[in-house]
Chains A and B, each alone.
Chain A
Amino acid sequence: MVQESLFGALEILVTWPTAGWLLVGLLAGIIIGTIPGLGPNLGLAVVLPLTMRLDGPDAIILLISIYSGAMYGGSIAAILINTPGTAAAAATTLDGYPMTRQGRAMDALSISATASAVGGAFAIVTLILLTPFLTTIVLMFGSPEYFLIALFGIALITIVAQGSMVKGLTAGAFGLLLSTIGFPVAAGQPRYTFDTFILYDGLDFVAVLIGIFAVGEMIKLAGEKGSLANKDLSLSGNVLSGVRKVLSAPITTIKSGYIGMFIGAIPGSGASISNFISYAEAVRSGGGDKEYGDGNHRGVIASEASNNGTVAGSLIPTFSFGIPGSGATAILLGGLMMHGLRPGPELFTDNVDITYSIFLALLAGNVVILLFGLLIITRAVYITTIDTDYIIPVVIAVASLGAFGLRGSWLDVFTVLVFGIFGFFMMKHNYSIIAFVLGIVLGPIAEENLVRSLQLSEGSLWIFVNEPIPLVLTLLTVAVIASPILTVIRSAVSGGDR
């Protein structure tokens, strides 16, 4: 049955023009992903109405290819100019950009293409194998589980906040605080909106990320002379050494792909979260050739493998219950409905051919990403030899335009500029940017699901430990918070022995 459906799906995929839409979608996605602010959401939003005249499968394959391409495309500007093309590539800047500054941009770009393709492929193959059980899996996770996963992510601050713990916690808490602006789903009363409806929907965290990473870095660069790649270093690295680096870190790659898939399946989250969680996990497990944040190739692998894995994961709640995991899947869902494909069990029974053809399109898309990324995008390293006097104004202009494109609101443009200055000073004074991002991104998910869980349990905290999945998640969180304390105690004890 599964085999038959897969062959049926393959038939849909290889026929013209479907294969053409796949290619067009991917290339468009990569380009949209590269330009800061023009993430997959905007790309999908612009294309959605144009798909009205296409057949259902063609339209969905075009849309999903844009989504997948943009996930990879976001890494290009992240690596070259510290400007994540999409929020999903924000963690890629942490090690990818230091690699560029060390003259290893080509390495970083080929690592990103390979890790995106491999991580994405593992996730999608797993998704195909899990298809018959997806609905059951989704039903295993509810509000208490979602809260605990978000809490686990927030607890990771203790691991990723290198240097001062107090500064890390301060940055994380500030992120959480900012995420409370606007109208919360659970409470029903707008907060900190100062009676204007400009702030009614809160700050857009994508604008915050663009500000902190892109504009913040440009302010820093403005104080330096020369080009992005330090002059005294020759441009080293080649396409194949990047591929080899990914293949020599198979566990990081596959683990990151699955982390991406898992986080992607949680409603309201998405790749903007998974790349940071995956990066934090890579930092926790260690390894690699350099310190994290100083150009460790595993940092790029973790972020890039996870965001492409997220695409597969985000389809799970979207297809099984019509719950979009992120803004991009919300538009994808609209595409499904516009063409009469309703989410729910039908997609896994009567329409399973179409569902599988979408999954196979994603798989084929990862091959295209690999080839295109290795053969063409790696040529973009010449950007790093351009004088920053030319780069800075272009990045600021594109970042502001991209911010305006998020929701068509001037608030987002101000957000980018204000948080650019804010990010510059955070970097200067060693406040952990990852801690801040985990706070602002996970805050709403944690809050919404905490309120709901406590409503369900009538205020009892037992709801977080009385079933196997919540219990495991609670223990994991406790372990993460306790580990730095244990390290301190252990070193004190061994110090006392001497």
Chain B
Amino acid sequence: MQDRRAFIQRTVAGGVGAASLAFAGCLGDDEGDGDFPSQQFHGVIPWGQGGGTDIFTREIWQEIADQNDVSIGFENVTGAAGVRGITELYGSEPDGYTISPMNSPSVVPLLTQDPGFTIDEFRHIGAYTQTVWVLVTDPDLDLEEFDEVVEAYENGDIGSISGQSPGEPNHVLAESLKSELDVPWENYVAYDGSGPVIQAVASGEVSAGIVTETAAADAEDQIDIIAALSSEGSPVFPDLPVYTDYGYEPEIDFMGQFLRSFMAPPDTPDDRIDILNENLQEALESDELQSWADETGNHLEYLGGEAEVLEVLEENQERIPEIIDLDDLE
């Protein structure tokens, strides 16, 4: 195991994105003068440029860097469902200057690919928003309520449900709808992203789909949005019913909403994590970020520090293997 980990660290450390070559020259020396932060931050983003996580990370950390009057360089280290980037963070200097975004469903690829470490070894800075999943259906089916959809599955009027690749959160959610809430869908159809799921539902190729609330908001006229899959409800659709309104216990909340947070390498000192946490809270309340959030329809809110984030991640780590067979994904 040790050899493999060293190999992975070497490989990933070598595999730095070309964009970062431009930034590499600007990195300052480690002065260690106790005045933190005084150097350039380095944001390692394990997902592609232009995606939701990428945009959130760049906006928020640019603001944190501006507040401290330091610069920041970002690097998208993509691949292996995020594990490559997370591995790069794992091997980074624990000085508080290197950070990454983390989304709670990413515990799945870490469990299946077993890169030689677990998510609780990292230091977690804090959570900045959560995204709720919603159930959507083909408008031609005229299904309006969650219990009507369940009934249609029970009667065999509809059979399919769609989401992303096996192991992605909407797949785990579909499986938990079946195992925890007894929704008897017959076949799960996988698409490459929320957009294609919506297109398939809107065109009637599949009867129902599970997408994020933001993706559903973009296509409100073309699909029926049935219910939020988190008992806390959807911030984007405050009036939307939630599945627990129909007499269900909140059994699938751990997957029905996902937490977006930031983390630092293992062994980053407490005092630096505390400073970054305060910086994050301050940035999230700043006028700049709040007006950006309003303009772009994103929601930003400080949702807790290391303890709260770890609680969610550990619950995911524990519950997901109960719902889906991880061996199928290896």
Binding site for B on A (CB under 8 A): 42, 44-46, 48-49, 52, 135, 138-140, 142-143, 183, 185-190, 197-198, 200-201, 267-268, 317, 321-324, 330-335, 337-340, 342-346, 401, 404-405, 407-410, 448, 452, 455-456, 458
The answer, yes or no, to whether B317 is at the interface (CB within 8 Å) is: no
Cβ contacts under 8 Å, A344 to chain B: 218-220, 222
Quick one: given A139-B203, A342-B218, are A186 and B190 in contact (CB under 8 Å)?
Answer: yes
A408 pairs with B297, CB closer than 8 A? no
Quick one: given A188-B328, A189-B330, A345-B221, are A323 and B54 in contact (CB under 8 Å)?
Answer: no
Nearest CB of chain B from residue A40's CB, rounded to whole Å: 13
Q: Which 10 A-B pairs have the closest CB atoms?
A: A334-B50, A188-B166, A408-B17, A405-B18, A323-B195, A197-B80, A344-B218, A200-B80, A340-B296, A322-B195
Quick one: given A46-B19, A188-B166, are A334 and B195 in contact (CB under 8 Å)?
Answer: no
The answer, yes or no, to whether B295 is at the interface (CB within 8 Å) is: yes
Other 19 A-B pairs with CB < 8 A, given A142-B203, A201-B80, A405-B17: A45-B49, A49-B49, A185-B190, A188-B165, A197-B8, A200-B83, A322-B215, A323-B193, A334-B49, A334-B50, A337-B55, A338-B50, A340-B297, A342-B217, A408-B18, A455-B160, A455-B189, A456-B189, A458-B187
The answer, yes or no, to whether B275 is at the interface (CB within 8 Å) is: no
CA distance A334 to B55 in the complex (A): 8
B18 pairs with A49, CB closer than 8 A? no
A409 pairs with B79, CB closer than 8 A? yes
Cβ contacts under 8 Å, A186 to chain B: 165, 190
Quick one: given A201-B80, A334-B54, are A409 and B49 in contact (CB under 8 Å)?
Answer: no
A346 (CB) vs chain B CBs: closest residue: B218
A338 (CB) vs chain B CBs: closest residue: B55
CA distance A200 to B110 in the complex (A): 13
A448 (CB) vs chain B CBs: closest residue: B192
CA distance A187 to B189 in the complex (A): 10
CA distance A344 to B221 in the complex (A): 9
B219 pairs with A185, CB closer than 8 A? no
B79 pairs with A345, CB closer than 8 A? no
Quick one: given A321-B198, A340-B295, A452-B189, are A183 and B160 in contact (CB under 8 Å)?
Answer: no
Cβ contacts under 8 Å, B219 to chain A: 321, 344-345
Interface residues of B in 230-287 (CB under 8 A from A): none
Q: Which residue in A142, A342, A346 is a CB contact (below 8 Å) of B205? A: A142
Sample of 19 A–B contacts (CB below 8 Å): A45-B19, A142-B205, A185-B164, A185-B191, A188-B190, A189-B166, A197-B8, A200-B81, A317-B195, A321-B198, A321-B202, A322-B195, A322-B218, A334-B54, A337-B50, A410-B11, A452-B190, A452-B191, A456-B160
Q: Which residue in B81, B164, B199 is a CB contact (below 8 Å) of A321? A: B199
CA distance A127 to B196 in the complex (A): 21
Q: Which residue in A200, A317, A340 is a CB contact (below 8 Å) of B79? A: A200
CA distance A317 to B203 in the complex (A): 13
CA distance A343 to B193 in the complex (A): 14
Cβ contacts under 8 Å, A322 to chain B: 194-195, 198, 215, 218
